[in-house]
Amino acid sequence: MGWERADRDTPEELLSCCCGFCAVCFWLRRNQHFDTQTGRCGQLLGEAEVDHCCMNPHYGYQGNDSVCHSCRRFCFGIGLCKDPKGLGDLQTKSCQERDCCPKPAGWSEWGSWQACSVSCSSGHRQRERTCSSPPPNCGGPGCSGPSKETSACHTGKVCPVHGGWSAWGPWEPCDGTCVREGSEPPRRHSARYCTNPAPSIDPPGQPCPESGHRWEYCKGLPFCPVHGGWGPWGEYSRCSVTCGLGAQVKRRVCDSPAPKHGGHACPGEATSTKICNTHQHCPVDGQWSEWGEWSGCNRSGKNIRCSTYSAGTQRRARTCEHREWEGKHCSGDIVETRPCYDIEKCRSESRHH
For position 224, which CATH number holds? 2.20.100.10
* 309 and 273 housed in the same domain: no
Q: Is 223 helix (H, G, I), strand (E, B) or coil?
A: strand
**Residue 216's pLDDT is what?**
96
**Residue 8's pLDDT is what?**
35
Among 71, 86, 88, smallest CA distance to 34 is for 71
Q: What is the CA radius of gyration of the chain?
A: 75
**Residue 298's pLDDT is what?**
78
* 192 and 277 housed in the same domain: yes
Burial class (CB in 10 A: 0-12, 13-18, 19+), 239: middle
Q: Which of 39, 54, 80 delimits the end of a domain?
A: 80
* 320 and 292 housed in the same domain: yes
Note whether residue 132 is domain-resident.
Answer: no
Q: Is 287 helix (H, G, I), strand (E, B) or coil?
A: strand
Q: What total number of domains does the chain contain?
A: 3
Cis-peptide into 134, omega within 30 deg: yes
**Residue 27's pLDDT is what?**
37
- Amino acid in position 324: E
For the chain of 353 residues, list the mean pLDDT of each consecutive stretch of 10.
35 32 35 59 73 78 73 55 69 73 88 90 92 85 90 89 95 95 94 94 92 95 95 95 94 95 94 94 93 84 60 89 91 91 62 46
Work out the angle at residue 30's Cα, subtended by the Cα atoms of residues 26 and 31, and round it to the nearest 5 degrees. 85
**Residue 171's pLDDT is what?**
96
**Residue 74's pLDDT is what?**
52
Measured between alpha carbons, how far apart are the two ends of the chain, in Å?
201
* 7 and 71 housed in the same domain: yes
Note whether residue 90 is domain-resident.
Answer: no
* Residues ≥6 apart with Cβ < 8 Å to 40: 11, 13, 14, 15, 34, 68
Q: Which long-range contacts (CB under 8 A, 24 or more apart) does 113-119 make?
A: 113/151, 116/153, 116/154, 116/155, 117/153, 118/153, 118/155, 118/159, 119/155, 119/157
* 257 and 276 housed in the same domain: yes
* Residues ≥6 apart with Cβ < 8 Å to 98: 138
* 67 and 21 housed in the same domain: yes
Give the dihedral sign, CA 91/93/95/101: negative
What does DSSP assign to residue 307?
Answer: T
Note whether residue 247 is domain-resident.
Answer: yes
**Residue 81's pLDDT is what?**
60
C-alpha distance from residue 95 to each of 92, 98, 250 (Å): 9, 9, 126
Q: Which long-range contacts (CB under 8 A, 24 or more apart) does 198-201 make?
A: 198/161, 198/163, 199/160, 199/161, 199/162, 199/163, 200/160, 200/161
Percent of the chain with pLDDT over 90: 49
* 274 and 306 housed in the same domain: no
> Do the beta carbons of residue 271 and residue 251 sit within 8 Å?
yes
Cα–Cα distance for residue pair 64/22, rounded to 1 Å: 12
> Do the beta carbons of residue 252 and residue 258 sit within 8 Å?
no
* 253 and 322 housed in the same domain: no
Cα–Cα distance for residue pair 130/128, rounded to 1 Å: 7
Note whether residue 309 is domain-resident.
Answer: yes
Q: Which of 49, 64, 80 delimits the end of a domain?
A: 80
**Residue 19's pLDDT is what?**
31
**Residue 53's pLDDT is what?**
80
Note whether residue 177 is domain-resident.
Answer: no
Determine if the pTM surpasses 0.75: no
Give the dihedral sign, CA 304/306/310/315: positive
> Do the beta carbons of residue 284 and residue 327 sit within 8 Å?
yes
**26 is in which domain, residue-wise?**
1-80
pLDDT digits (tens, 9 = 90+) for 49-82: 777 788 887 777 777 776 777 776 555 444 556 6
* 11 and 72 housed in the same domain: yes
3-state helix, strand, coil in the chain (%, to 5): 0, 25, 75
> Do the beta carbons of residue 21 and residue 1 sit within 8 Å?
no
* 277 and 297 housed in the same domain: no
* 39 and 53 housed in the same domain: yes
Helix ranges restricted to H, the chain: 50-53
Note whether residue 28 is domain-resident.
Answer: yes
Q: Which of 80, 103, 136 delimits the end of a domain?
A: 80
Note whether residue 115 is domain-resident.
Answer: no
Cα–Cα distance for residue pair 182/186, rounded to 1 Å: 12
Note whether residue 164 is domain-resident.
Answer: no
* 75 and 1 housed in the same domain: yes
